[in-house]
Amino acid sequence: MIPSLLALLTCLVPLVRSLDIPSTWRKPGITVLPEERKGLANAALENVIGDMQGTLGVQAAISEMDYLSNQTLNKALAGDFFSRYPTVDVLARTLKVNYSAYDALLFGYASIQAYIVYLDPQHLTAARDSWNLARNYTLLEDDITSGTRNLTLNYDHLQESCQGNTMAGGTADDVLNIISAALRSFFKRNL
């Protein structure tokens, strides 16, 4: 057994040595200028916007793109979207769809992203309305300290603390947890 293992290793060692990382990978040189990179990213975003303009994820991406590239190319798009749909309720009625708490939180996230970049009060109002709806699915510190019960949360399946740490900020839905925490954190810091 040992001789065959040695024979195998003798064959593999040269092969492994030939898998060295090329020196060009160690210090990559990005040759595309920042303005050109912004242009490429904007062109890619334009393709997505054309196909998926009404989706909430794209609305957040529009504002994030402007934030990351330190520009306001998409301000009119975001303003138009939130003028047509100032709340998630209006969005759902207009598009004739049933919305979920996830949609409300995503709407809030998109509106916060727009507010951070463009500082337009309509975006902050949209985020507040979204949080007021999503709050029904989120366990807050006030709920725990006051002993009040949020009627939409199933307390039979929720813990108010875990190993001495508060569970405030968590939601009754794993998918909502991240977006809910982001909205709660934003309003706690800024309002």
pLDDT at 176 over 70: no
- How far lies 28's CA from each of 20, 21, 23, 32, 34, in Å? 16, 12, 9, 12, 16
13/77: higher pLDDT = 77
pLDDT score recorded for residue 121? 92
- How far lies 130's CA from each of 29, 86, 168, in Å? 44, 10, 19
- Residue 113: inside a domain: yes
State the Cα–Cα distance between residues 71 and 65, nearest whole angstrom.
8
pLDDT digits (tens, 9 = 90+) for 22-45: 666 666 677 888 888 888 877 777
- Residue 112: inside a domain: yes
- Residue 101: inside a domain: yes
- Residue 125: inside a domain: yes
pLDDT score recorded for residue 46? 73
Count of the separate structural domains present in the chain: 1
State the Cα–Cα distance between residues 62 and 53, nearest whole angstrom.
10
Nearest one of 161, 110, 167, 111 to 138, comparing CA atoms: 167
pLDDT at 86 over 60: yes
pLDDT score recorded for residue 162? 76
Domain span at 173: 34-190
- Residue 114: inside a domain: yes
For residue 161, the SS3 value is strand
pLDDT score recorded for residue 174? 52
- Residue 79: inside a domain: yes
CA angle 87, 89, 91 (to 5 degrees): 75
pLDDT score recorded for residue 167? 67
Structure-token match 């409300």, residue found: 104
- Under the banding of pLDDT at 50, 70 and 90, the label for residue 156 is low
- Residue 13: inside a domain: no
- Under the banding of pLDDT at 50, 70 and 90, the label for residue 117 is very high
DSSP at 171: B
* Mean per-residue pLDDT of the chain: 74
pLDDT score recorded for residue 83? 92
- Residue 72: inside a domain: yes
Q: What is the 3-state secondary structure (H, E, C) of 5-71?
A: HHHHHHHHHHHHHCCCCCHHHHCCCCCCCHHHHHHHHHHHHHHHHHHHCCCHHHHHHHHHHHHHHCC
For residue 100, the SS3 value is coil
Structure tokens at 35: 């303005």
State the Cα–Cα distance between residues 156 and 82, nearest whole angstrom.
38
Please, are residues 185 and 136 in contact by the beta-carbon 8 Å criterion? no
**In percent, how much of the chain has pLDDT > 70?**
61
